Chain A
């Protein structure tokens, strides 16, 4: 049973997703029960997987028992276990929040939600480049439908852009995979890293073209500077629980960059080693600068949070661009914080918008909030965390990143990171004072806060103080993860014992 644990994060949402899709008009209660129950189970599985991976051993699951490099494998290491746990925690908050009523605005919310989780988990687990493409498509197809859940002009329009852009991105992904297969003769990422070590020099150009094409594709998913224009509108118009779940979608792109370039183009790739780093570094700084301006210019709370997602993308990519294990450890800590907090802020924005009636989340004078005090406290926690103020997790994550920068990188990173934080702070305090203090004289709306909605928001925003309390163990874990990523040799030994033995024999 334990051997099959690795594949469960994919199979579990697949089964519950199919069950949920069988009947479109089934009882809402049963669907919610199944959706939330499956997500809770996923959380338990993810915790078990994290416990298994924490020891540092790289485990794999060969589907159909076809051993690597021939079959399709799921690989579990510290990074993938961490990402799956993060997905499960985020998803639980979203699905409980959605059960308060957002799931009834259209059909099949819970089924699509589970299939989306399946795609995300699969992308985190797969050890095969083509399967990464397949899981990307699964998560994209589910996200297309979820983005337009409930309909409406703004969603359809943002959705059309999102779909067309991602279809073009998929075409690029396939070309990149084809080029890399043609040059190395394998699709298994671990095997590819072995093959690159013995690559003929005339094929190096081909491989680097394929590698940089992959960077474009992952950059589109992660929303790097020239490729981010789809994100603010799509995230701002999506239903709140979907937008909150999408907080992990940009991180799928960041995970893919981290995985592909540390494993395939790691220290054994010779001249091709770390070829993405200059690109990622400068584009990340550009993303930070542009998104800081976007945060200041946003006139809607949800748009503001969408730009805050972009700020976090810039920060995380800067961590990848620094290219040291210390920076990787810091960016993983920041990634946990930013995913949960931006997700929580999307949910909170929806609650605020609901209580303000017509004004919604636009930053204009509106009617007073019925539960203004409670929402303001939650907003304060979320804003302080996301802007990176010291007592909360954002400040710790940023401090880790700034310490990890080398003296040559500091003059670029420190001012940009701090100015982006300041811009977030200015924009968020302006938004907060408009939403909570500058209201019309009038009756507050009589829409009460749902208990499930409050649970969703506090579950995600509560992660920030919790992350501070557990900062020691968490940063120990991220450090161990970064060390595991920086040397692919143990993973090659685990997956391809023959090749590892062969290589050692060659050295001797």
Chain B
């Protein structure tokens, strides 16, 4: 389970990073979203992965570490708000600058059409 979990997190983070480095604002926003998913998964695993653990400590046996769950919940809420803000900002930039390049430049347009 650990290796599957680690690979999933890694692939999500790699895809997020790749998309964040793109030049158009939409892929950048999607990339940031993927990156935050990967980070949430990573945080979730920080208390150690346990299966069949009790959710609430009942005195005997193993139990799941509750702190990472609380952290992930906070991180998800903040991540949602930030993504919403980034989407609105990207739309505003598209409207104000007339294109959706992150630098606001009309670059490589002709090259992309040729492809």
Hey, which bits of chain A sit against chain B, CB under 8 A?
130, 134, 137, 141, 144, 148, 151, 153, 156-157, 159-161, 163-164, 167-168, 170-171, 174-175, 177-179, 181-182, 187
Contact = CB atoms under 8 A, between A and B. Distances in A.
A125 B58 CA distance: 35
A177 B42 CA distance: 11
B102 A167 contact: no
Contacts of B42: 174-175, 178
Contact of B102 (A141, A144, A160, A182): A160
B47 A157 contact: no
Contacts of A137: 78, 82
Contacts of B75: 174
Interface string B83-115: 001100110110011000011100000000000
Contact of B85 (A144, A156, A181): A144
A178 B43 contact: yes
B67 A181 contact: yes
B74 A164 contact: no
Count class of interface residues, chain B: 20 to 34
B25 A160 contact: yes
B36 A171 contact: yes
A156 B36 contact: no
A171 B89 contact: no
Nearest to B38: A171
A459 to B, nearest CB: 32
B81 interface: yes
Contacts of B85: 141, 144, 163
Nearest to B103: A157
A156 B67 contact: no
A134 B78 contact: yes
B47 to A, nearest CB: 7
A151 B93 CA distance: 10
Contacts of B46: 178-179, 181-182
Contacts of B28: 164
23 contacts: A130-B71, A134-B78, A137-B78, A141-B82, A144-B85, A151-B96, A153-B96, A153-B104, A156-B89, A156-B92, A157-B104, A161-B102, A163-B89, A167-B32, A167-B36, A168-B35, A170-B78, A170-B82, A174-B75, A177-B71, A181-B68, A181-B71, A182-B46
A163 B86 contact: yes
A171 B39 contact: yes
A187 B70 CA distance: 12
A259 to B, nearest CB: 20
Given A159-B89, A164-B86, A182-B47, A171 B78 contact: no
Contacts of A130: 71, 74
Contacts of A134: 74, 78
B89 A141 contact: no
A167 B82 contact: yes
Interface string B52-80: 00000000000000011001001100100
A168 B21 CA distance: 11
Given A153-B97, A170-B82, A164 B67 contact: no
A168 B32 contact: yes
A181 B47 CA distance: 8
Contacts of B82: 137, 141, 167, 170
Contacts of B74: 130, 134
Contacts of B68: 178, 181
B89 A160 contact: yes
Given A153-B97, A167-B36, 17 more contacts: A130-B71, A141-B82, A153-B96, A156-B92, A157-B93, A157-B103, A159-B89, A160-B25, A160-B89, A160-B90, A163-B89, A164-B32, A164-B86, A167-B32, A170-B82, A174-B75, A181-B67
Nearest to B35: A171
Given A141-B85, A174-B43, A178-B43, A160 B20 contact: no
Contacts of B36: 167, 171
A479 to B, nearest CB: 38
Contacts of B104: 153, 156-157
A118 to B, nearest CB: 15
A175 B44 CA distance: 11
Nearest to B33: A167
Cβ-closest 10 pairs across A and B: A182-B46, A178-B46, A178-B43, A157-B104, A171-B39, A174-B39, A171-B35, A167-B32, A156-B93, A137-B78
Contacts of B71: 130, 177-178, 181
Nearest to B90: A160
A160 B93 contact: yes
B30 to A, nearest CB: 12
B32 A156 contact: no
Nearest to A144: B85
A179 B20 CA distance: 23
Contacts of A141: 81-82, 85
Contacts of A148: 89
A167 B104 CA distance: 19
Nearest to A180: B46
Given A156-B96, A167-B32, A175 B39 contact: yes
Contact of A187 (B32, B67, B92, B97): B67
A227 to B, nearest CB: 15
Contacts of B102: 160-161, 164
Nearest to A183: B46
Nearest to B95: A156
A371 B67 CA distance: 59
